[in-house]
Each structure stands twice: as structure tokens, then as C-alpha cells.
Chain A
Amino acid sequence: GENVEQHPSTLSVQEGDSAVIKCTYSDSASNYFPWYKQELGKRPQLIIDIRSNVGEKKDQRIAVTLNKTAKHFSLHITETQPEDSAVYFCAASLGDTGRRALTFGSGTRLQVQP
């Protein structure tokens, strides 16, 4: 089955700096790659996703890149703010619709220091 590795496990940055989180996956049949943000004690929430026919996607301060050949994808957050502090999870799924089971990475705890 699919295996998703995520690193780093913790990341501390100064407010205004950029943060990068990287994930690798094992199943070349995976075509959908969402990123979820989970604040302490709250539910995971989708922040951005990318499908295999796209190499990069941006939404304001966040962007995701995908390299299908190397089977890795990354989350980039620019101009970080204290409210970006949370645990971020990458995930991979078969198909590109988002309907199938998600396989998650182990998470990255991001702390933005004011």
C-alpha cells in the first residue's frame, strides 16, 4: 500500500520567514495530494491540494509543488504569521478526485515565533 514520509517533524521559524515542509510517497498510482492544517484540539482542515497534472499551485501565501518523477511534493508558506502555528499533514490518494482513502504523513509541527 501507499506510504507517505514527511519531514521535518518540527519546524520553528521567525514571523515573516518562509517555511517548507516536504513529503515523499511510494505508490506511483497516487494522483491527489492534499495538505491539512490541524490546530491544537481541532479537526484537520484542508488548506491546499494538488493533482498530478499540475506541477505547482498557489493560494495567497501558501503554495504546493509536485514532482511525480521523484514522487515528492512540498508545502511552502511565505511571510509566516503566528496564526500559521499548527500541525501540518500531507496526504496522498489514488485517483485525482479526492474520493478515495487518504494516506497521511506523520505531521510537521510548525511554530512561528513573533
Chain B
Amino acid sequence: DTGVSQDPRHKITKRGQNVTFRCDPISEHNRLYWYRQTLGQGPEFLTYFQNEAQLEKSRLLSDRFSAERPKGSFSTLEIQRTEQGDSAMYLCASSQDSARFVEQYFGPGTRLTVT
């Protein structure tokens, strides 16, 4: 499968614990995006990278959230001191800069449940 991959696919954690998710973009895609989707809603933008540079962060991204893409390939999203409101599907997407017009390709998501 050469699409965007995410790991783990499911995560159950207790409130107050830290969690980390990983996203591997499509090979040679230099842009990587994180979105969050709650049940019955559309994805909400969190942040995105061009190579290793974090270019934009949503106001939704509180201090407890941090994302990295240290070598411009895979990315991690960490949530510290999880709260029940963090329960959601965390989607990663990637796109390639080489064309003028690009498409964001989504991964399967990591479903987080905070108990």
C-alpha cells in the first residue's frame, strides 16, 4: 500500500495520560497535514508542515498538542494530559509540491478514546 499510513489505528487511554501518533506520508510528498474529526462532523484542521517546517497551526491546537516532522518524512502528533474532549479520529494527509495544483490524500486515521 503506497498511501498515507497512520499508527496506531486505535488508541484507548485514560484521562491525564500522554499519547503519540505517527503518520507516514506518501513517498516524496513534502506537505503533511493533521486534522481532527469528531463523530458527525467534518475534519478540523490542526497543523501542517512543508518538509520539516511547521507552517501553520490552528487556534484549536492547545498547548497540550505538539506536532513534529524532524526529517521531513514521517510526523508525530503528541497529546499531553489527555482529556475526554480529545476523543476523536486524528487524520493525517499529505500532498506533493511539484505540481501547480495539488490534492490532499488522507490516511485511515487514528481513533483516540479517552476514558
Contact = CB atoms under 8 A, between A and B. Distances in A.
Contacts of B4: 43
A101 B48 contact: yes
A46 B97 contact: no
Contacts of A4: 42
B90 interface: no
Interface in A64-114: 89, 91, 96-107
A106 B41 contact: yes
Given A43-B91, A44-B106, A98 B43 contact: no
B95 A46 contact: no
B107 A104 contact: no
B101 A101 contact: no
A42 interface: yes
Given A43-B91, A43-B108, A101-B58, A89 B103 contact: no
Interface residues on B, range: 20 to 34
B65 interface: no
Interface residues of A, number: 26
A101 B43 CA distance: 11
Contacts of B28: none
B100 interface: yes
A107 B40 contact: yes
B41 A107 contact: yes
A103 B45 contact: yes
Interface string A39-51: 0001111100101
Interface in B14-70: 31, 33, 35, 40-45, 48, 56, 58-59
Nearest to B106: A43
B100 A102 contact: no
B28 to A, nearest CB: 15
Contacts of A97: 100-102
Nearest to A32: B101
User: Lowest 8 CB-CB distances: which A-B pairs, in order?
Assistant: A104-B42, A101-B45, A43-B106, A98-B102, A89-B42, A44-B106, A104-B43, A43-B108
